[in-house]
Each structure stands twice: as C-alpha cells, then as structure tokens.
C-alpha cells in the first residue's frame, strides 16, 4: 500500500537523523544540503512533492527543510553555520524510536528518549545510496584540514597566497538576492533574479557582493542567483541548488554579503 505524504515526511525526518548518525560514527562529513538530498534519495518524492515552487525548489524539499525545525526543538539536532550536528539525545533517538511510526509519534508528542537507551554502535543503515555522497565528502576532507594550517602559518607567508587566490577567482557578471521579499525592494515580482532592484554591488577591495535593504519584521526565504538567471544558484551553506536561506528579521535595515569564494552569505 502506498505511503501517505505525512508518512513519507516522517520517514524523511527520521532519515535525516539516521544519516547524521552514520556520518558521526563513520567520521565522514556531509553538509546540510547533502544530508537533505540523501534523505530524499532514500525516501523519494512523489509527483506532487516533486512540483517546483516559485523559488525553483521541489515542494517536498522545502517541506523537509522546514520540518527539520522539529528535530531542533526536540533537542536532537543543532543547526550551525558550519553545518548540522546530531546531539547525543538525537543519536539515542535513532535507537529508541527505530521505526518511522514510532519516531513520528515521539516527535509529535514530545516523548523523551528513555535514559537507558544505548548509543548506536554502528551506522544505522548500510544503504548503497549513501556511497556517492560519502565519497564526495571524504574527498573534500583534506581541503578542510588545510584551512587551520594556513592560519597557523606565519602571516607573511599565508597572506600573499590567500590574496592571490581571491584575486584570481573569476567573479560572476551579476549576483542577485532572489526571494519572497523582492517586491518589497521594488521588483515587479518575487523570486525573479533578472531585475535591477535585486542586484548586489561588488566591493572590489573586499571581493564580496553586498545589498542593503529595509525590510518589515517577518520570516523570509531567499537564494543567491548568478548572472540574472536560475542556471547557477546557491542556497543554505553555499550549496548549489540547495535549500533556501531562511531569515527571521525583526524589522529595519539589513545588509546581505555574498562571498563567491565560499558561495555563502552572511547578514548584518
């Protein structure tokens, strides 16, 4: 019998924790976009969930991104700028609530993880579909390790190399913030990166792109789109075609800064 949308959604949420548990115990590294993508690979989207929303994101992907807030509220997941981390309680939850049904019920009712639940001692699943993302993440690990070493090196040696790398980076011809607040900025429609009103300005000294705007208090979604189209776009954590950036704003002036070296964005 086919699973309902709610059942698939609950199964994907559990899979997010399962993937994070596997990553923890295998000492691999996956970013948030890869974790969400793997959850969708294991629990595929149906026809309706695959429909693209105005931001170019499948309905099911956006729903999963939003619903991961439940894992944070339960104390099983921590979202940071450097990535997502499963908590010890989250690890135990993958054991205590082993089936999607048990997991969904515990999450909905706020059931605490039993204190005597052991930590998993091996990856929660050995599904072959994890191999591609895991290998990809492992290949990037050496690069991640080099970053601290470069900082630890004498400034006289490291600074020129870093500056040269940034200077040689080919910048896009245009960078836009495309989101659900574009009409507030004066654009004719939301989620449309072709308009002048949503283009960022390049700071040639700092090698970053910025846009300062005044927004009403609210919760917003947006992505970075290059060269006035969706052909190349970046979402949360600098992931290409990744999940939307999410912004909870108290109202007032805000500055968005995009760094093409990291493909990520910060707000101030």
CA nearest neighbour of 171 among 259, 230, 90, 256? 259
Q: What are the boundaries of each domain within the chain?
A: 5-142, 175-267
Rounded to an integer, the average pLDDT of 118-136 is 49
Q: What is the overall mean pLDDT for the chain?
A: 79
Tell me what pLDDT residue 178 has: 93
More confident residue, 153 or 225: 225
Q: Is 102 left (phi over 0), alpha (psi -120 to 50) or beta?
A: alpha
The radius of gyration of the chain's CA atoms, rounded to the nearest angstrom, is: 20
Task: Give pTM, 2 decimals.
Answer: 0.49
More reliable by pLDDT, 58 or 107:
107
Q: Of 3.30.70.2190, 3.40.50.1820, 3.40.50.1100, 2.60.40.10, which CATH number belongs to 175-267?
A: 2.60.40.10
Residues 6+ apart with CB under 8 A from 177: 198, 200, 211, 222, 223, 224, 256, 258
pLDDT of residue 123: 52
Q: Which residue has the higher pLDDT, 108 or 135?
A: 108
The pair of structure tokens assigned to 74 is: 């339960």
Which band of pLDDT confidence, cut at 50, 70 and 90, is reported for residue 122?
A: low
């Amino acid at each position: 019998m086919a699973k309902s949308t709610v059942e698939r959604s609950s199964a994907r949420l559990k899979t997010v924790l399962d993937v994070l548990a596997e990553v923890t115990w295998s000492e691999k590294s996956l970013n948030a976009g890869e974790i969400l993508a793997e959850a969708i690979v294991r629990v595929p989207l149906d026809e309706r969930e695959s429909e693209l929303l105005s931001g170019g994101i499948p309905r099911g992907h956006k729903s999963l991104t939003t619903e991961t807030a439940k894992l944070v509220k339960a104390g099983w997941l921590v979202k940071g700028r450097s990535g997502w981390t499963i908590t010890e309680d989250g690890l135990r939850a993958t054991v205590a609530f082993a089936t999607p049904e048990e997991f969904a019920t515990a999450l909905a009712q706020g059931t605490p993880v039993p204190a005597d639940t052991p930590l998993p001692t091996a990856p929660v699943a050995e599904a072959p579909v994890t191999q591609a993302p895991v290998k990809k993440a492992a290949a990037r690990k050496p690069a991640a390790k080099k970053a601290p070493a470069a900082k630890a090196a004498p400034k006289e040696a490291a600074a020129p190399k870093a500056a040269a790398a940034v200077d040689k980076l080919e910048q896009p011809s245009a960078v836009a913030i495309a989101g659900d607040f574009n009409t507030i900025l004066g654009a004719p429609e939301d989620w449309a990166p072709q308009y002048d009103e949503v283009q960022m300005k390049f700071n040639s000294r700092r090698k970053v792109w910025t846009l300062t705007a005044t927004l009403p208090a609210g919760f917003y979604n947006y992505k970075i789109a290059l060269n006035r189209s969706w052909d190349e776009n970046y979402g949360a954590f600098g992931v290409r075609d990744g999940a939307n950036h999410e912004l909870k704003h108290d109202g007032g002036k805000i500055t968005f800064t995009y760094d093409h070296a990291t493909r990520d964005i910060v707000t101030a």
